[in-house]
Amino acid sequence: MYPASFEYLKPQSIEEAMALLTEHGEDAKLLAGGQSLVPMMKLRMARPKYLIDIHRLADLNYIREEAGQIRCGAMTRHIEIEESVLIRAQLPMLAVAASEIGDVQVRNRGTIGGGLVEADPCGDYAPVALAINAQFKCVGPKGERLIPAAEFFSFAYTTTLGADEILTEIIFPLPAQDSAGVYLKLERVAGDFAIVSAAVQCAVDKNGVCSAIGIGSAGGGTVPQKALAVEALLRGQKISPELLAKAGELIQVDAEPIEDMRGSAAYKKKALSAILRRAISEALRQAEAKRVS
Partner 1 sequence: MDFPINPPIGERVRRKETERFVSGTGRYVDDLLPAGTLHVSFVRSSCAHARIKSIDVTAARAMPGVRAVYTGADIAAHVKPLRVGGSSVLRPVKLYPLAVDKVRYFGEPLAVVVADNRYLAEDAIDMVAVDYEMLPAVVDPEKAMEPGAALVHEEAGSNIVYKFHFATDGIDKVFQDAEVVIKERIRSHRITACPIEPRAYLAHYNKDEDTLTMWSATANPHSLRGRIAEIIDFPEGKIRVIAPDVGGSFGVKIQTYQEELLLPYLSRELGRPIKWCETRIEHMRNGRHGRDQIHYVEMALKKDGTMLGIRDKIIADMGSTYTVDHSIQAAALYMTGVYQIQNYSVDALGIATTKTTHGSLRGIGKADASYILERLVDIAARQLKIDPIELRLKNFIPAEAFPYRNVTGALYDSGQYHLAMRRTAEMAGYDRLRQEQIELRKQGIYRGIGVAFVMEPTSSSRIHATGGYASCRLRIDPSGAATVFSSMGEQGQGHETTIAQIVASQTGIPFDKITVIHGDTLPTPYGFGTGSSRSSVVLMPSAWVAGKLMRDKMLGIAARQLKVLPENLQIDGGKVFAKDHPEQSIAVMEIIRTAYGAIHLLPENMEPGLEVTGYFINPNIDYTPDDKGRMNTFSSYPYAAVIAVVDVDIETGMIKIVRYSTVHDCGNMINPQIVDTQQQGSIMQGIGAALYEELRYDEDGQLISSSFMDYRLPCAEEVPELQLEHIITPNPFTPLGAKGAGETGMLGPPPALCSAVEDALSPFGVKVRETPLTPDRVLNLIEKAQATPAHG
Ligand X SMILES: Cc1cc2nc3c(=O)[nH]c(=O)nc-3n(C[C@H](O)[C@H](O)[C@H](O)COP(=O)(O)OP(=O)(O)OC[C@H]3O[C@@H](n4cnc5c(N)ncnc54)[C@H](O)[C@@H]3O)c2cc1C
| Footprint on this chain of partner 1 (rule: CB under 8 A) | 1-5, 43-44, 103, 186, 188-193, 195, 260-261, 263-264, 267, 270-271, 274-275
**Residue 115 interacts with, from ligand X, partner 1, none (CB under 5-8 Å by kind):** ligand X
Smallest gap from Cβ 28 to ligand X, in A, equals 9
Q: How far apart are CA 135 and CA 68, in angstroms?
A: 13
Q: How far apart are CA 128 and CA 170, in angstroms?
A: 12
Q: Which residues contact 151 (CB under 8 A, 6 or more apart)?
A: 160
Q: How far apart are CA 57 and CA 9, in angstroms?
A: 13
Q: Does 95 bind ligand X (CB under 6 A)?
A: no
Amino acid at 229: A
**Best CA proximity match to 197, nearest among 180, 185, 187:** 185
**Residue 29 interacts with, from partner 1, ligand X, none (CB under 5-8 Å by kind):** ligand X
Smallest gap from Cβ 211 to ligand X, in A, equals 30
Give backbone dihedrals phi and psi of 73, rounded to 5 degrees, phi first.
Answer: -60, 145
Q: Are 249 and 273 in contact (CB under 8 A)?
A: yes
Stretch that binds ligand X, among 63-71, 160-168, 246-254, 258-266 (CB under 6 A): 160-168
**Residue 219 interacts with, from partner 1, ligand X, none (CB under 5-8 Å by kind):** none
Q: Does 198 bind ligand X (CB under 6 A)?
A: no
Stretch that binds ligand X, among 109-117, 231-239, 245-253, 273-281 (CB under 6 A): 109-117
The site map against ligand X for 66-85 (x = CB under 6 A) is --------x-----------
**Best CA proximity match to 41, nearest among 83, 3, 75, 94:** 3
CA 203 to mean position of chain CA atoms? 21
Q: Does 37 bind ligand X (CB under 6 A)?
A: yes
**Residue 260 interacts with, from ligand X, partner 1, none (CB under 5-8 Å by kind):** partner 1
**Residue 134 interacts with, from partner 1, ligand X, none (CB under 5-8 Å by kind):** none
Q: Does 167 bind ligand X (CB under 6 A)?
A: yes
* Among residues 73, 110, 224, 263, the one that binds ligand X under rule CB under 6 A: 110
Q: Are 106 and 35 in contact (CB under 8 A)?
A: yes
**Residue 190 interacts with, from partner 1, ligand X, none (CB under 5-8 Å by kind):** partner 1
Q: How far apart are CA 154 and CA 152, in angstroms?
A: 6
Q: How far apart are CA 127 and CA 56, in angstroms?
A: 26
Size of the chain in residues: 293
Q: How far apart are CA 279 and CA 185, in angstroms?
A: 9
Of 82 and 118, CB closest to ligand X: 118
**Best CA proximity match to 127, nearest among 204, 215, 6:** 215
Stretch that binds ligand X, among 4-12, 111-119, 242-250, 260-268 (CB under 6 A): 111-119
Task: Give contact residues for ligand X (rule: CB under 6 A).
Answer: 29-37, 39, 74, 101-102, 106, 110-111, 113-115, 117-118, 120, 123-124, 161, 166-167, 193
